[in-house]
Amino acid sequence: MQNLSVIIAILGLSAMSYWLGRRRSIAVVGGLRSAAQLHSLPGYYGVLTGLWCAVPALLLLAVWHVVGQHHILDVVMSHLSGDYLTASAGQRRLLMDEVLRLAHGGAALGDVRPDVRAAAQEWIRLDALSRTAGGLVALSVSLIGASVAWSRISPTLRARNGVEWVVKLALVLCSLIAILTTVGIILSVLYEALRFFHLVPIFKFLLGTSWSPQLATRADQVGSSGAFGAVPLFAGTALIALIAMLVAVPIGLLSAIYLSEYADRRVRTVAKPLLELLAGIPTVVYGFFAVLTVGPLLRGVGQALGVAVSAESALAAGLVMGIMIVPFVSSLADDMLTAVPLGLRNGAYALGATKSETIRRVVLPAALPGIVGGVLLAVSRAIGETMIVVMAAGLTAKLTANPLEAVTTVTVQIVSLLVGDSEFDSPKTLSAFALGLVLFFATLVLNIIALRIVRRYSEQYK
């Protein structure tokens, strides 16, 4: 009996018990018309019966499977000839793998010891037995659960509270999954990063000013020193993020002020969706725009002015990224501005403030915490953005403050380090995880600061 068919059967039983439980709850009070005498709506009794039918049985099935597999292996291995018991842990492991591989129908590698072959046969037999037994036990638990729940249905049974409890448990489990996933990701990045820091000292990584992760594949190769100083990457990231914010904050904030305070309704209904459309453009398309339009344009302007602008420049990437972030800033700021109570505006108007005085001195300060929070979120987006910079900023890790030169960012390097074939334990590949860790901490710190600012202001003003 396969586990899958057992699961399907249990779910079918559960659906049936829903229906039966619902019907019984109506029956015990003598018809739908007197359903008001029930503590809960009939549906709740149904759900409760269904849950009692499915949940314990499925849990049991899972536990049975895990424990059973373990136990079978133990039993089978103990039948092996005496040397197994005295073998080292490594050899035991090898034998176990061999038995399991044979049992799962894998081809034999070379000569197979007869006792191993026999053990595999035994494993197959026991496994089938265990599955059948487990399936039968689970099905009976399912039936028992359903009938116990069914028989306990009475007008005073608090089915609704029971279901509520289960719902709460399910919600807790879901949030646990989300949290555990985050923790898992952090731990795995941390683990790989630590391996990297074994190979390259952390200070060299954080403070070194030269980045060239190409390792020498031949001894006589030149220029492949394998330097892992990440400062140029941090500087490039910061430079591009700064340019992006210089574009996004004024444009986003001012357009939000225009839209929420000055624009009449007709303009607003057209302009706001248009602005938000910017957020829906895939970043690759922004990348094209940066490479094919903004880059050459800047270059042309540079030539006209007699300034050297490289084809890939921090400026082009930053400008386009700034445009991309405008809708974030503006829609967040717009929400914050419209959330400022009308009473405050009226208070200012009634004192004889003009519109712009009201906005500057009353509305903006009141909305500031939200706006600052939005801007910081936009910064962490700018730092994490990859596609535009991959296409428009280049791969040259140069430490420069000149926005007209090509720079590279943390995310771009992570991409280029992991693209292509490379062993998973070379410092080149591992350095990607170290960079990822730094990126993670940077955004984490930004978010914490954003939350603090927001909290401080809201304490002061609410």
Partner 1 sequence: MASDTRDVVVDAAKFAVPRATVSAAGDQSAPGAAIDTQTIGQVTVQDPVMTARQVSVHYGAKKAIADVNIDIGRNSVIAFIGPSGCGKSTFLRCLNRMNDTIAAARVSGTITLDGKDIYDRSEDVVQLRARVGMVFQHPNPFPKSIFENIAYGPRIHGLAPTRADLDEIVQTSLRKAGLWDEVKDRLDQPGTGLSGGQQQRLCIARAIAVDPEVILMDEPCSALDPVATARVEDLIDELRQNYAIVIVTHNMQQAARVSQRTAYFHLGNVIEVGSTNQMFTNPRHKLTEDYITGRFG
Binding footprint of partner 1, residue count (CB under 8 A): 22
Nearer to partner 1 by C-beta: 166 or 353?
Answer: 353
Nearest Cα residue to 288 out of 241, 329, 327, 324: 324
DSSP letters spanning 101-114: HHHTTPPP-S---H
What is the smallest separation between the CB atom of 330 and partner 1, expressed in angstroms? 22
What is the smallest separation between the CB atom of 249 and partner 1, expressed in angstroms? 22
For position 43 contacting partner 1 by CB under 8 A, the verdict is no
Angle between helices 42-78 and 159-199 (to 10 degrees): 40
For position 346 contacting partner 1 by CB under 8 A, the verdict is yes
How far the first Cα of the chain sits from its last, in Å, is 64
In Å, how far are 161, 193, 195, 204, 234 from 198, measured between CA atoms? 54, 9, 5, 12, 21
What is the smallest separation between the CB atom of 55 and partner 1, expressed in angstroms? 50
Which of 362, 375, 407, 439 is close enough to bind partner 1 by CB under 8 A?
362
What is the smallest separation between the CB atom of 450 and partner 1, expressed in angstroms? 19
Which part of the chain contacts partner 1 (CB under 8 A), choosing from 60-68, 188-196, 355-363, 398-406?
A: 355-363
For position 319 contacting partner 1 by CB under 8 A, the verdict is no
233-237-243 Cα angle (round to 5): 145
For position 266 contacting partner 1 by CB under 8 A, the verdict is no
Residue 248: CA count within 13 A, CB half-sphere: 35
For position 453 contacting partner 1 by CB under 8 A, the verdict is no
For position 349 contacting partner 1 by CB under 8 A, the verdict is yes
DSSP letters spanning 145-183: HHHHHHHH--TT--HHHHHHHHHHHHHHHHHHHHHHHHH
Which of 38, 243, 248, 366 is close enough to bind partner 1 by CB under 8 A?
366
Nearer to partner 1 by C-beta: 362 or 391?
Answer: 362
Instruction: List all residues 6 or more positions away from 347 whose beta carbon is below 8 Å from its beta carbon.
Output: 362
What is the smallest separation between the CB atom of 365 and partner 1, expressed in angstroms? 6
What is the smallest separation between the CB atom of 344 and partner 1, expressed in angstroms? 6
Residue 196 near residue 427 (C-beta atoms within 8 A):
yes
For position 344 contacting partner 1 by CB under 8 A, the verdict is yes
Residue 27 near residue 154 (C-beta atoms within 8 A):
no
Nearer to partner 1 by C-beta: 203 or 461?
Answer: 461
Nearest Cα residue to 319 out of 411, 237, 245: 245
Which of 168, 361, 452, 455 is close enough to bind partner 1 by CB under 8 A?
361
User: Where on the chain is the footprint of partner 1 (CB under 8 A)?
Assistant: 264, 341, 343-354, 357, 361-362, 365-366, 460-462
